[in-house]
Structure 1
């Protein structure tokens, strides 16, 4: 909902003015708003996205809920075959850092064993869940047997201000790698919709 011009018009409405075409004055106004942290005009917009991610990442992102709406697929009602997330690489625990949760990629025998454990855990969790459903256990209870790397899906709506706050924190270099990947996807989605607003928020 809205576009770059919407943000400029909202800022300009205090002078009882409203334009139908964007020009360089609007670009300068948006730059001014971002530079001086006048964020309220950016809130008169909305972006809705559909996200699929592992539960542990969803719970990290769920911290960004001020001024946003989140509706998630519920395994109280859905008992389709669960899908699981496998990272592109398994990373070591860092030696000393408390600001970054991962070190270099695992290799050799340790990597082989971790991949095996991951596969066995996935298979066991799926079998346990499916068997509990077969025995008549309610889905809202059986779901408790599923691990945090199960994929979940939700619809997320928020303003540019809200999504930019999420992007800024998750794109930061000490965020978890997968959270940084999410921030990159958020950038890919929103940048074409609000090209000038999004860029000037990043620049400032």
Structure 2
């Protein structure tokens, strides 16, 4: 591979397949009282039963929110994936492998919208805008470091070193890609921890880059299950 390093500041999320709708919550919930007749919910307008969805969310009856599936294709830096993989219950992952393919030289460099300065002590800190000089230092040092590390990677590959060994020189700012599959309940738990939101009952302070991924995933989910999404927001953005 002879491509020169390329630099990005965005995240990519694509919904590649799904089986997810508000009606999935309703038939799963109503089997407890209607048995096999609960399947009739699949033919009904879920708007008629949005009160049930809100009740399930409010009183934290969570299992009806598990009978659905969404698979996302995510492109983000490695350090985002290291945080992402802490979410294990209700999630499945398959990630690009540096053992089996030559990794492309695409790296994360924050743009001017990224707050660079941390103030306060752990557990009670905030991020504030950096100066133009700080942003300049960040961008210059990151791009130079990335160029050097990728040149070392290429030199090792050219010398016949195995990909799984040569990749050790690459930094966590390298972009990777993965498929991530979840259900609505596991996604809500992820969103509750990885987004800041004015409606959240429990405050969260995620790193901005994983929050960018979470926001894109939430936008896709909200289109698939609008009543469930509304109930999630109305009840403090706490997973049931």
Stretches of structure 1 lacking an aligned partner (at least 5 in a row): none
Is contact 1:72–1:155 with CA below 8 Å preserved after alignment?
yes
Is contact 1:91–1:102 with CA below 8 Å preserved after alignment?
no
Query: How many residues are paired up?
Result: 204
1:60 and 2:69 are equivalent in the alignment: no
Per the alignment, residue 180 of structure 1 pairs with: 211
Q: How far apart, in 1, do the equivalents of 2:29 and 2:80 lie?
A: 35
Q: Deviations over 1:52-106 (max 9, x none)?
A: 0111111111111112110001010010422111112364442323236763233
CA RMSD of aligned residues (A): 1.8
Q: How far apart, in 1, do the equivalents of 2:119 and 2:229 lie?
A: 37
Equivalences for 1:32-47 in 2 at 5 Å?
A: 32-47=55-70
Is contact 1:167–1:187 with CA below 8 Å preserved after alignment?
yes
Larger strand fraction of residues? 2
Report the CA distance between 1:12 and its aligned residue: 0.3
Per the alignment, residue 230 of structure 2 pairs with: 199
Report the CA distance between 1:115 and its aligned residue: 2.0
1:13 and 2:36 are equivalent in the alignment: no
Q: How far apart, in 1, do the equivalents of 2:174 and 2:65 lie?
A: 34
Q: Deviations over 1:16-43 (max 9, x none)?
A: 1322212444211111111110010000
Stretches of structure 2 lacking an aligned partner (at least 5 in a row): 1-18, 197-203, 236-240
SS at match of 1:147: coil
Q: How far apart, in 2, do the equivalents of 1:22 and 1:146 lie?
A: 51
With structure 2 as the length reference, what TM-score do the two structures score?
A: 0.79
Please, which moves more after superposition, 111-120 or 49-58?
Answer: 111-120
